[in-house]
């Protein structure tokens, strides 16, 4: 079965809308398309609508959005309106989730190398705790007490080898319990008072093949049967983790979620139902596929230079999007207003960091670019702004939610120099002269698409 062929990437806003925004908010900034995020979420839920809940009724599927992908409470709240919970892996992510009104079993706490206070907060919020190691059962007991519902993260090691540079191969990955450990962990937890159980694995990343994604489900379904056979414990849910890929590059496949869900359904019938273990709820922790394709990094061209190569220097840099520098990831680029011009020039598109890998694209065919052009970098809605950092004194950008009717809601202001210096207490220094004079308004900016 083939994935879908991704269409040509387009930008859902115009140059004049960006110019309108720029009157108040200078580039660079990220824009997230609310309607597209909602539509994508509905498609995922529809594809998995066959999943039953614990009463055997349909509607048992839930995505716990991986907060690390786009840690903004406005986004979490809108995804919650679509039925999604949150997958958190740190204390701030738990707090963001709570701020967005998401608590209790709508939070999956999938952390690793976890400090005691994070387990304590997760337990207090009633989150589902997903343990990354067998020794964490005792650690959790001491830190927060044993909950009635507990999940374990499985690492299949060599049994499954579809790793990539983002997640690595399971046998080299720091996450999860080995097979031998996981079979021991369930009865141990049961003896300590756990009544309800889940199973989790996150063993693929940015995977665009439905058969490989479904293979991870097969592995977990077979393990659920084995756990039941060996321990008598029935699982309440299986968490397929995140890892659904998106077509960043023109040659990449677009996952057909209906096909993926159909394959998982077939495996569920063949393994879970046939072994009398139904109903087991199917859940996941998708981040990238939920918001990734619907985010855009908008940036102005500062300089076009000719050295040994031709360079386009943007006002955005690695601080705003690290994926190309970190993974050599491909992100498509549109020059607003030049969409139909021939791609007859070749450039390296860079930021201003003193790092030669601060490049958004290397030897990329583009139309002729001039200083002042507006470039839009595609697919920045997940693991984009979130990975930002302040090396070289670079500041993280603003985030906008583009709503129906051309409203742009500022959902995070840009960092200021004051933010950058906020952790310094250097006697005699006063950086206030560089501060932004006025906090930006949170009133949506109305624009017209032309
Ligand atoms: C535990 C866990 N769950 C879910 C995700 C989300 O993965 P993705 O955004 O690729 O779907 C990640 C990503 O790092 C993760 O570590």
> Residue of the nearest CA to atom 7 in ligand 1?
242
Averaged over 280-296, what is the pLDDT? Answer: 98
> Residue of the nearest CA to atom 13 in ligand 1?
242
* Same-domain check for residues 310 and 276: no
Residue 42 counted as domain residue: no
CA gap 415, 331 in Å, rounded: 24
Residue 16 counted as domain residue: no
CATH code of the domain containing 154: 3.20.20.10
Residue 436 pLDDT > 70, yes or no? no
Residue 319 counted as domain residue: yes
User: In the prediction, which pLDDT does 440 show?
Assistant: 61
Q: Which residue has the higher pLDDT, 280 or 427?
A: 280
Residue 56 pLDDT > 60, yes or no? yes
Last residue of a domain, one of 250, 285, 320: 285
**Hey, is 403 helix, strand or coil?**
strand
Domain that holds residue 359: 293-446
* Same-domain check for residues 264 and 317: no
Residues 63, 33, 367, CA angle at the centre, nearest 5°? 125
* Same-domain check for residues 254 and 345: no
User: In the prediction, which pLDDT does 4 show?
Assistant: 63
* Same-domain check for residues 319 and 436: yes
Compute, in angstroms, the gap from residue 448 CA to the centroid of ligand 1. Answer: 36
* Same-domain check for residues 224 and 322: no
* Same-domain check for residues 238 and 378: no
Among the atoms of ligand 1, which is closest to the Cα of residue 242?
Answer: 11
Compute, in angstroms, the gap from residue 205 CA to the centroid of ligand 1. Answer: 7
* Same-domain check for residues 131 and 261: yes
Residue 30 counted as domain residue: no
**Ligand 1 close to Cβ of residue 202 (< 6 A):** yes
Residue 32 counted as domain residue: no
Residue 10 counted as domain residue: no
* Same-domain check for residues 246 and 364: no
Compute, in angstroms, the gap from residue 340 CA to the centroid of ligand 1. Answer: 36
Q: How confident is the model at residue 2 (pLDDT cuts 50, 70, 90)?
A: very low
Compute, in angstroms, the gap from residue 87 CA to the centroid of ligand 1. Answer: 8
Averaged over 144-155, what is the pLDDT? Answer: 98
Q: How confident is the model at residue 55 (pLDDT cuts 50, 70, 90)?
A: confident
* Same-domain check for residues 228 and 95: yes
Q: How confident is the model at residue 1 (pLDDT cuts 50, 70, 90)?
A: very low
Q: How confident is the model at residue 149 (pLDDT cuts 50, 70, 90)?
A: very high
Last residue of a domain, one of 259, 285, 311: 285
Instruction: Look at the block and give the residue holding tokens 């007991």.
Output: 141
Residue 222 pLDDT > 90, yes or no? yes
Structure confidence by residue, pLDDT tens digits, 8-40: 799 999 999 999 999 999 999 999 999 999 999
- Token pair belonging to 110: 């999938």
User: In the prediction, which pLDDT does 220 show?
Assistant: 97
Q: Which residue has the higher pLDDT, 203 or 115?
A: 115
- Token pair belonging to 151: 């999940």
Residue 324 pLDDT > 90, yes or no? yes
Task: Produce one character per residue of 213-232: b if its CB has 16 or more CB atoms within 10 Å, e if not.
Answer: bbbbbbbbbebbbebbeebe
Residue 195 counted as domain residue: yes
**CB neighbour list of residue 349: distance below 8 Å, 6 or more residues apart:** 311, 312, 314, 333, 359, 360, 361, 364, 366, 375
User: In the prediction, which pLDDT does 123 show?
Assistant: 98
Among the atoms of ligand 1, which is closest to the Cα of residue 175?
Answer: 1
* Same-domain check for residues 72 and 156: yes
Structure confidence by residue, pLDDT tens digits, 392-424: 999 999 999 999 988 999 999 999 999 999 888
Compute, in angstroms, the gap from residue 152 CA to the centroid of ligand 1. Answer: 16
Label the pairing between strands 295-306 and 374-378: antiparallel
CATH code of the domain containing 437: 2.40.37.10
Residue 441 pLDDT > 90, yes or no? no
Q: What is the DSSP letter of 254?
A: B
* Same-domain check for residues 131 and 258: yes
Task: Produce one character per residue of 369-393: b if its CB has 16 or more CB atoms within 10 Å, e if not.
Answer: beeebbbbbbbbbbbbbbbbeeeee
Structure confidence by residue, pLDDT tens digits, 64-88: 999 999 999 999 999 999 999 999 9
CA gap 381, 383 in Å, rounded: 7
User: In the prediction, which pLDDT does 8 show?
Assistant: 78
Q: What is the DSSP letter of 154?
A: B
**Ligand 1 close to Cβ of residue 288 (< 6 A):** yes
* Same-domain check for residues 274 and 178: yes
In the chain, how many domains are there?
2
Least confident of 48-57, 158-167, 302-311, 362-371: 158-167
The pTM of the full predicted model, rounded to 2 decimals, is 0.94
Structure confidence by residue, pLDDT tens digits, 121-133: 999 999 999 999 9
Residue 3 pLDDT > 90, yes or no? no
**Ligand 1 close to Cβ of residue 71 (< 6 A):** no
Mean pLDDT of the chain: 93
Residue 143 pLDDT > 80, yes or no? yes
Residue 408 counted as domain residue: yes
Give which of 326, 296, 312, 329 is closest to 398, Cα–Cα.
296
Last residue of a domain, one of 267, 285, 303: 285
């Amino acid at each position: 079965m083939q994935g879908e062929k991704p269409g040509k990437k387009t930008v859902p806003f115009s140059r004049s809308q960006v110019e309108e925004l720029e009157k108040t908010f200078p580039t660079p900034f990220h824009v997230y398309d609310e309607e597209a995020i909602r539509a994508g979420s509905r498609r995922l839920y529809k594809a998995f609508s066959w999943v039953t809940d614990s009463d055997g009724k349909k509607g048992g599927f839930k995505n716990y959005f991986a907060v690390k992908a786009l840690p903004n409470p406005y986004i979490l709240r809108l995804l919650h309106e679509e039925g999604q919970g949150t997958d958190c892996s740190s204390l701030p992510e738990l707090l963001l989730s709570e701020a967005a009104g998401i608590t209790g079993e709508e939070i999956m706490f999938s952390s690793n190398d976890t400090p005691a206070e994070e387990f304590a907060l997760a337990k207090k919020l009633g989150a589902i705790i997903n343990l990354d190691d067998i020794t964490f059962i005792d650690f959790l007991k001491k830190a927060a007490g044993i909950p009635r519902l507990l999940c374990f993260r499985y690492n299949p090691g060599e049994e499954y080898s579809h790793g990539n540079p983002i997640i690595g191969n399971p046998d080299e990955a720091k996450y999860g319990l080995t097979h031998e450990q996981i079979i021991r962990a369930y009865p141990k937890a049961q003896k300590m008072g756990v009544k309800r159980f889940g199973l989790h694995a996150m063993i693929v990343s940015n995977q665009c093949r439905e058969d490989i994604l479904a293979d991870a489900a097969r592995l977990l379904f077979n393990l659920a049967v084995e756990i039941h056979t060996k321990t008598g414990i029935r699982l309440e849910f299986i968490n397929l983790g995140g890892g659904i890929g998106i077509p960043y590059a023109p040659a990449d496949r677009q996952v057909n979620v209906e096909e993926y869900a159909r394959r998982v359904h077939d495996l569920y019938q063949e393994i879970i139902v046939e072994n009398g273990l139904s109903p087991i709820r199917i859940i996941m922790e998708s981040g990238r596929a939920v918001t990734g394709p619907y985010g855009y990094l908008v940036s102005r061209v500062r300089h076009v230079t000719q050295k040994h190569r031709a360079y386009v220097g943007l006002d955005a840099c690695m601080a705003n999007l690290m994926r190309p520098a970190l993974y050599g990831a491909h992100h498509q680029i549109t020059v607003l207003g030049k969409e139909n011009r021939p791609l007859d020039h070749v450039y390296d598109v860079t930021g201003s960091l003193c790092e030669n890998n601060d490049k958004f694209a290397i030897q990329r065919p583009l139309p002729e670019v001039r200083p002042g052009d507006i470039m839009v970098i595609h697919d920045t809605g997940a693991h984009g702004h979130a990975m930002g950092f302040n090396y070289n004194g670079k500041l993280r950008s603003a985030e906008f939610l583009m709503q129906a009717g051309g409203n742009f809601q500022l959902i995070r202001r840009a960092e200021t120099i004051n933010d950058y210096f906020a952790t310094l207490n250097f006697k005699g220094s006063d950086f206030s002269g560089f501060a932004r004079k006025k906090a930006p308004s949170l009133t949506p900016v109305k624009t017209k698409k032309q």
